[in-house]
Structure 1
Amino acid sequence: MKTQLQNMTRMWRVLWAVCVVSALVSADLPDQDCPDDCDCHYFRINWVTDCSESNLSSIPTVEEGLSLNVYVLNMNANNMEELEPFPADLKVRSLQLAENMLSMVDKDHFSSLMYLIDLDLSSNNIGSIHPEAFINNYGLITLEVQKNPLEPVDGPFIISRNLHYLDLSYCLLTHLNPQFFQNTTAITRLDLSGNPL
């Protein structure tokens, strides 16, 4: 556990150093693609694509203008019922999918997002999340699933060894089996409020 923490600390230091060097080397940041229904801009040195409240039923594709270099992708408050797997070279770190109509998370939905750090799935209609849905997201630190009608789970909830924050508040959970957190051993902050446990 101590080694994992040291590795995470090193990773954050390297990431910070890369960001600082990038900012110093590049006075002008290059333009990035932007989908038609979205607002795109730089926040510091990070490319943000805000497609929230755009009445979209799917995430824009690269062909529709989604930049592979997007750092924050905000898809909150749209009409998405299903997700398609993301492109393998998408570099998104923060993905916001709250307030849509998603009903489940499949094993392959996020498997290609190797840089993903924060994921917000709150206020959807998610009943099930495949236990291996985040097994390839090694940097995933924050997962927000609050306000979803999660179905009971017999084994481990998810496999995510580096996850630090998990919000399962108001998910109608009535019971947590003994293996529920077995594969999320790095959690330091957990919210189970609003559940009839």
Structure 2
Amino acid sequence: MACKIIINMAVRILSLKLLFFCNYITAEIIDVPYSCIVNDTTLRCINAQLTSVPLTGGRYEILYMYDNLLTSLSSNSFECYSHAEEIYLQRNEIEDIEESTFYVVPYLKVIDLSYNDLRYIHPDLFIHNLKLKTISLQGNPLVQVNVNAPILNAPFVQNLDISRCAISSLTPRSFSSLKSLQNINIQSNNIQTMSINVLEGLQNLRVVNLGNNHWTCDCNLIKLLNYISSRRPADVSHHPWVHCYMPGSSKRQSIYPGRERKFCQDLNLQAPKVPEQIITDNQATALSPRGRFNEGPVTERLEHKVLKHERARVRKEIYTLLSQYQGALIALVIIAVLATVSMLVSTIIFKHFSRKLRTLSSDLESDIGSTTHTYEPIGDRASWPYG
């Protein structure tokens, strides 16, 4: 433990010294390549024909160096980029990366090394990058990786892409030092079979992409699919089926959700075991990876438990929404009641005034009829004194 602390301190001191050096180098000594574009936080050297990482001064947080001609990375490649948080190096020709290359980049969060020529990755390559969350090694021929040891020692990484890497097998030790993994992409490899023990230690796992491998059609694959589905029932539709190949044949089969039992019966093999217990997490959406499998075939018991769990999750989400918007719902109900009452009162008042108006109108008509006078002539005009 003391040795690790000393090493971490030494790495930080070294990065500070390198930063001091890089911040005070002059533009006459080291210039930014003419094909690169820079601003306050970003350095873009895309398709710039770079054969090495340019040592430029600056507090760059994002480095775009893909589509270049880089063949190797050493411990001094990023000595002037200690503030880098995202580094994109895809589609270069990188064959070798020194173990201490990224030790001087303590704030690194995203690293993309996809589609290079890496055949081997040192397990401790990112051991000092405690803020690292996403690693992409897609498209590298990692044929020399020892799957009986941890692929990487990166306890805080959440997203790992090792698709299209020519990996033929994975063991329970492969991800043993990646305890925070949430998303794993292992599609388009050469994997034929994989035990559920490979994933059991990953308590935060949410999504596993298994597609386009050379899976063998047997009930071990059914066990794996059932385990992945039970970890998060809401994500079953994310990978609706997996293709596999019959033993000793090139015929490809498709395994659909809900048909696993029939699939095993058709193969005339031992049926997969049933999860013993569903243990939900804080969001009530996952099974505990500590759950084990009992003896017995897949029956309605599994479907019943998954359906029951899904119903409980939906009910909990509904109750949560109701509790969050309780005040607003009460206000809407009060407004609706008041609007209804006001409409009723307005209707009553309108009817009352209508009756009053009709009564007044009839009274007025009767009064006008009773006050009509008939004028009679008073004598003849000739009898008037001043005719």
Q: Match for 2:82: what amino acid?
A: L
Distance 1:66 1:89, change over 3 A: closer
1:95 paired residue among 84, 87, 104: 87
Q: Which residue of 1 aligns with 2:166?
A: 172
Over 3 Å counting, the alpha-carbon distance change for 1:88 and 1:39 in structure 2 is closer
2:32 is the counterpart of 1:35: yes
Q: What residue identity is the alignment partner of 1:75?
A: M
Match of 1:59 in 2: 53
Aligned residue type for 1:83: L
Letter of the 1:162 partner, please give it. F
Structure showing greater radius of gyration is 2
Cα offset for 1:89? 6.2
Identity of aligned pairs, percent? Answer: 25
- SS of the residue corresponding to residue 70 of structure 1 reads coil
Partners of 1:158 and 1:84 lie apart in 2 by 18
SS at the partner of 2:39?
Answer: strand
Number of aligned residue pairs: give it. Answer: 157
Query: Which sections of structure 1, spanning at least 5 residues, go unmatched?
Result: 1-32
CA offsets per residue over residues 80-138 of structure 1, 9 Å max, x none?
00112221762000000100111133311111110000000000000111010000000
Query: Residues 59-97 of structure 1, C-alpha deviation per residue, up to 9 Å, x if partnerless?
Result: 001xxx342x10100110100001122217620000001
Contact 1:161 1:184 (8 Å CA) reproduced: yes
Q: Which residue of structure 2 aligns with residue 79 of structure 1?
A: 69
Deviates further, 98-107 or 52-61: 98-107
- Counterpart-to-counterpart distance in 2, 1:74 and 1:54: 10
Contact 1:53 1:78 in 2 (8 A): yes
CA distance in 1, matches of 2:65, 2:149: 31
Query: RMSD between aligned alpha carbons?
Result: 1.5
Mapping of 1:45-194 within 5 angstroms? 47-61=41-55, 65-67=56-58, 69-85=59-75, 86-87=78-79, 90-151=82-143, 152-153=145-146, 154-194=148-188
Q: Look up the equivalent residue of 2:39 and give its one-letter code.
A: H
Letter in 2 for 1:56: L
Note the residue ranges of structure 2 that are not aligned, 5 or more in a row.
1-26, 192-387
Q: Which has the higher strand share?
A: 1
Q: Which runs of 4+ in 1 moved over 4 A?
A: none
Q: Which amino acid aligns with 2:68?
A: N
CA distance in 1, matches of 2:57, 2:169: 40
The structure with more helix, counted as a fraction of residues: 2
